[in-house]
Structures are given as C-alpha cells and as structure tokens.
Amino acid sequence: MSEDTGEKKGRASAQAGRDEAPGGLEPVFPTLEAFVEHVASSLWDRVITDSHRWCDQWWNHPEAVYALTCLWHAWEQTHVSDAEARMRWLLQYSYPLMDRLCSANGPFCRCKPHCVLNGRGHNSHPFNDDEVRGLPTAAMPEGVFGARQ
C-alpha cells in the first residue's frame, strides 16, 4: 500500500462513524478527529518520551483508529450518564487503553517521540521489507471448532 493510500484510508477511518448518541441525542463530537482533538489531546497531557509514545498522525495507525473509535463511542454513551458511569469510563476504558496505545510497544512504537512536536514524528514506513506485517496466521484445520463457515 502506498503512503498516500494509507494516509487516505487512515483519514477516512478517522472521519467515519458519525453515529447517533444514546437516547437519540446528537453526539457531542461529530467525528473521531474532533474527539481526539478535544478530549484525548487535552485530557492525556503527557510528555512524549521513548517509553510514552504518541504520533501526531495517529490516524495513520489502524490499531489506534480502532481503539480510539471504541473509546469515543463509549465516551458518547457515558458522558450523559451519572458521575459513576463517567468514572468507570475513565478507569475501565480510557486509562488502560491510552496506556496501551502510548506504550513503548504500542502502535506508535516506530514513530520518533522527539520529533512529534515538529511534525516529523510519524514513521510512514514502519516495517523493514523482511518483517511480517500484522500477526501471522495459518489455515485452521477442519473440525477445530466444528463446521467451518
């Protein structure tokens, strides 16, 4: 996949999901990009280091897009709830997820933390040609889970 195609797919994924909020309410944030810009980037104000990573082009990382989309949808459901629901969102969803996303071996592991602030942190070629992309899989033998579908 070319860099341009990957960036376009990432941006399209980041802008997708204009879901309706619970109870038929309009969502507070109409896009994932708006949620990340207004909640994630301000709520998780951290120093970017080798052990705590972030990428200013987070939308170019499919794992991050998926995880942040889930976090956004959960936020949209809980922000209209009581304080206990909002605390559960923070403790059960946001802290563990953001700790994982920003960990040294998370999806931003190949981005350069010292270059994020000047816009050169994203590594658009995260793998060497001889590295496996994604998790390797083998064909599942017939009968492992009953009838294959």
Beta carbons of 147 and 141 less than 8 angstroms apart: no
Q: What is the pTM of this model?
A: 0.69
- Region label for 77, one of left (φ > 0), alpha (ψ between -120 and 50) or beta (otherwise): alpha
3 state SS of 146: strand
User: Alpha-carbon distance 44 to 46, whole Å?
Assistant: 6
- What value does the mean pLDDT of the chain take? 77
Rounded to the nearest angstrom, the gap between the alpha carbon of residue 141 and the centroid of all alpha carbons in its chain is: 33
pLDDT of residue 70: 96
pLDDT in tens, 119-140: 555 565 445 555 556 667 788 8
Beta carbons of 50 and 35 less than 8 angstroms apart: no
Report the sign of the C-alpha dihedral through residues 80, 17, 103, 48, in that order: negative
- pLDDT of residue 12 exceeding 50, the answer is no
Query: In the chain, what percentage of residues exceed pLDDT 70?
Result: 66
At residue 32 the predicted structure's pLDDT band, cuts being 50, 70 and 90, is very high
